[in-house]
Structure 1
């Protein structure tokens, strides 16, 4: 398995666990992780896992047909496909990130770091990360699991930054990094890496958000692209 295949397997495992906990489970095939349910906007309907280009396109066509008239979001882990002719538009591109196993030194900060342990804390984390409209996007079923670590950072008692570390497919996937003050991001990345420091860490970011990862020893290792197919506009009259 090539490195990007490993990274997307970790990412798909996380999305599968998160959506299954919401009672909208997807399924794994040789080509896609796919989910025909209506998804929260932070999750795709499909992660491309492998297969040939023709197999990938056929699987995407079948998923789009199953969701005819509804939004379809597809994550192309290798940024190889052009789905424009199928009615999709590129939503964003990002770089895959990878760091060899090993802990990171913690540095002094005025932040108070904590592991989220309660449903109330998880809801507060979600609001700080995604906004009030997605307050329930993470199920409390995802708490108290040895393979998922929720890390929040407080300042003056308020959550101002956070991150999720997910151990899956032999990797530590870093997700949901947010910080009101960008200078705090490195503290959260360090904490996430150290949650499962005995395995390599990975994730993806774009633009300036990549910088704190590079400073901490991550390297970019390929690109991904997310495509979105919007429902047709209903004509009035």
Structure 2
């Protein structure tokens, strides 16, 4: 199902919903599933590394409704350090005890009829060993010298891989090594492209090939995501346009609370 006419707010809401669906899938696989509502997704449980506890979705979400959700989450939070995603960059949470962790831009690429078939050198990976090799690359580890690779933790459990709404993509070199990868996730109307990594080779070429592969995995739908810095430039070169900014906020630690020892709870930049 392609989105043929969507204004800016609708596109951002589709991108935010896609991100919320992905967060829900990963958190659920770690036993921290949340609830997707019309205006936001949230989880009352500690999320896995690199994930927020709340993602706003609707452009018309008001501050009172957001504050009610933040109060709900604060009452159940076990860690002083957690984050939320303000998908429309609509709120100033600094006076309420939050620090801006980073800002980024939502991206959008229209469907392309020439991306209907997955083409080499990018493949969709499913085998158990390939899952570990792919995740080793995502962690920035050498995925070819260890059999199986030794991962610091498993970010993407098998339940995430087995979901037909997700496609784990790997770019292979001529020796069959995974040199780049990304995830495509299908949600209503769009396909998200996220967690893109490049171990070796030309990043610009990898971006184009992985974006085309994501479009081929779920044809006929726009691609969405969010990027910043150099990755935003690479996304533009791969055919994406910028929609609007988002912000990720981190709850400010009180002076009497210990510093967190777990990885930062923010989505990958």
Q: TM-score, normalised by structure 2?
A: 0.78
Q: Would you say how many aligned residue pairs link Structure 1 and Structure 2? A: 232
Deviates more, 1:170-179 or 1:192-201: 192-201
Q: CA deviation at 1:62?
A: 2.2
Q: Secondary structure at the match of 2:191?
A: strand
Which of 68, 72, 94 lines up with 2:82 in the alignment? 72
Contact 1:103/1:194 (8 A) holds in 2:
no
Residues of 1 paired with 2:121 and 2:240: CA distance? 25
Q: Secondary structure at the match of 2:163?
A: coil
Consecutive unaligned residues in structure 1, runs of 5 or more: none
CA-based RMSD of the aligned residues comes to 2.4
Alignment of structure 1 residues 2-21 onto 2, 5 Å: 2-21=10-29
Distance of 1:10 and 1:134 partners within structure 2:
27
Q: Which residue of 1 aligns with 2:133?
A: 124
Query: Any unmatched runs of 5+ in structure 2?
Result: 1-8, 142-150, 260-269
Q: Within 5 Å, give how 1:46-61 maps onto structure 2.
A: 46-50=54-58, 51-61=61-71
Partner of 1:58, secondary structure, is helix
TM-score by length of 1: 0.87
Tell me which residue corresponds to 1:40.
48
**Matched residues in 2 for 1:211 and 1:200: separation?**
19
Deviations along 1:36-58, one digit per CA (max 9) or x if unpaired, are 22222221111012321221122
Q: Which has the higher strand share?
A: 1
Deviations 1:94-128 (A, max 9, x none): 1101112224569xx9x742211123322221221
Deviations 1:169-191 (A, max 9, x none): 11011111111242322221221
